[in-house]
């Protein structure tokens, strides 16, 4: 258990000393966070489950030259692509440290607004109102992504294109994703009001007839055949609208996010509506959010969508209610409650409840 940690720590130290040896060590920085969570999960016809969990992340970032930036981040957890939580159990055993991100970002001086990111990096697709309809917030994709943004006084326009590697196979075709997204943000009032509209296409290549991604025995709500293989392809079309306004200096965000899988004829749609009020940024400040979503079985890839809603996956609907309070500098208390129904078809329903209480510290 200690060997992966030692190897990962050595990687960080090597990166740091390499930067210093190049006489540009002043351009590096480190940041991280620690979250302690108590969680209650109550599923219909089962006993309520209580568990305590940790999430710890540490990253180092630096400029390799005038146009290239490098980032490496370690995190607790397993190799689950949508969770860096580590449950406190197993007789005080030591816990895993994994490579959560390792990427380079090229920002050419000769073309303002253009960037190229490659490796394992933070999800750079735009998520309106922090929506997790398509992507869990902990998902860090792998491959390459190009982002181009034009900005002026009245609006921003962004185009994103990506090729992401999902599964490499020795004797069969690989699975990968071709994706594109466009976002237009118009500032109605420069300081108080703006609206963003956009959409994207996310085409998973070589999905039908293959085992579910990451966990071959768990389709996470998606339809599989009798052999446990994906029964459908996934060619997702996403549309969204996000509005932002300040009411007496209290920021309010309203969002609508829609997705449909154009490769299938039924159980292919998901949507989400939500509102966010205020932000917990300074000691004594607070934030509130309410989200409702409906996500049919094959609207998105269950392996990559929100891992907290309905316990992770698709084929569910329901509420998410959350709030935050900033206790002190870089210290926030968060509460989230999920009231969900798993199974959207008439004869297959199950109530699901999840309560999360988090203390999060950043540095």
Tell me which H or E stretch contains 9: helix 2-21
Measured distance CA(99)–CA(101) in Å, rounded: 6
Whole-number Å distance between alpha carbons of 50 and 355:
10
Percentage of the chain exceeding pLDDT 90: 87
Name all domains of the chain by residue range, CATH numbers in brackets.
2-362 (2.40.160.10)
Task: Tell me the per-residue pLDDT of 17-64, one tens digit each, with 9 for 90 and over.
Answer: 554 445 556 778 999 999 999 999 999 888 999 999 999 999 999 998
The pLDDT score that the predictor gives to residue 20 is: 47
Write down the pLDDT at residue 144.
Answer: 98
pLDDT band at 191 (very low <50, low <70, confident <90, very high): confident
What pLDDT digit, counting tens, does each position of 220-279 carry? 999 999 999 999 999 999 999 999 999 988 999 999 999 999 999 999 999 999 999 999
Q: Tell me: the pLDDT tens digits for 317-353?
A: 999 999 999 999 999 999 999 999 999 987 779 999 9
User: What pLDDT sits at residue 7?
Assistant: 57
Q: How far apart are CA 135 and CA 304, in angstroms?
A: 5
C-alpha distances in Å from residue 194, one per residue of 128, 153, 211, 248, 273:
13, 12, 43, 16, 18
């Amino acid at each position: 258990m200690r060997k992966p940690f030692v190897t990962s720590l050595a990687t960080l130290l090597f990166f740091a000393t390499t930067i210093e040896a190049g006489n540009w060590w002043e351009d590096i920085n480190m940041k991280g966070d620690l979250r302690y969570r108590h969680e209650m999960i109550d599923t219909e016809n089962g006993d309520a489950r209580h568990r305590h969990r940790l999430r710890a992340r540490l990253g180092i970032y630096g400029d390799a030259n005038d146009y290239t930036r490098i980032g490496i981040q370690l995190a607790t957890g397993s190799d689950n692509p949508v969770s860096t939580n580590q449950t406190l159990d197993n007789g005080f055993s030591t816990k895993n440290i994994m490579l959560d991100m390792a990427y380079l970002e090229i920002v050419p001086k000769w073309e303002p607004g253009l960037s190229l990111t490659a490796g394992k990096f933070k999800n750079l697709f735009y998520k309106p109102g922090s929506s997790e309809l398509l992507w869990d917030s902990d998902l860090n994709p792998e491959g390459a992504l190009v982002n181009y943004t034009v900005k002026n006084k009245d609006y921003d326009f962004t185009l994103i294109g990506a090729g992401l590697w999902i599964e490499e196979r020795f004797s069969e075709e690989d699975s990968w994703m071709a994706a594109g997204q466009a976002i237009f943000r118009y500032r109605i009032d420069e300081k108080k009001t703006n609206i963003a509209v956009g959409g994207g296409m996310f085409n998973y290549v070589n999905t039908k007839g293959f085992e579910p991604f990451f966990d071959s025995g768990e389709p996470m709500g998606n339809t599989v055949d009798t052999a446990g293989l994906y029964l459908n392809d996934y060619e997702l079309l996403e549309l969204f609208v996000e509005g932002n306004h300040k009411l007496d200096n209290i920021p309010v965000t309203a969002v609508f996010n829609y997705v449909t899988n154009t490769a299938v004829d039924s159980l292919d749609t998901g949507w989400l509506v939500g509102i966010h009020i205020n932000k917990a940024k300074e000691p004594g400040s607070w934030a509130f959010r309410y989200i409702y979503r409906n996500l049919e079985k094959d609207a998105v890839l269950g392996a990559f969508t929100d891992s907290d809603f309905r316990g992770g996956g698709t084929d569910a609907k329901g509420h998410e209610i959350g709030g935050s309070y900033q206790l002190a500098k870089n210290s926030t208390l968060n509460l989230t409650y999920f009231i969900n129904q798993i199974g959207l078809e008439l004869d297959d329903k199950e109530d699901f409840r999840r309560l999360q209480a988090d203390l999060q510290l950043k540095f």
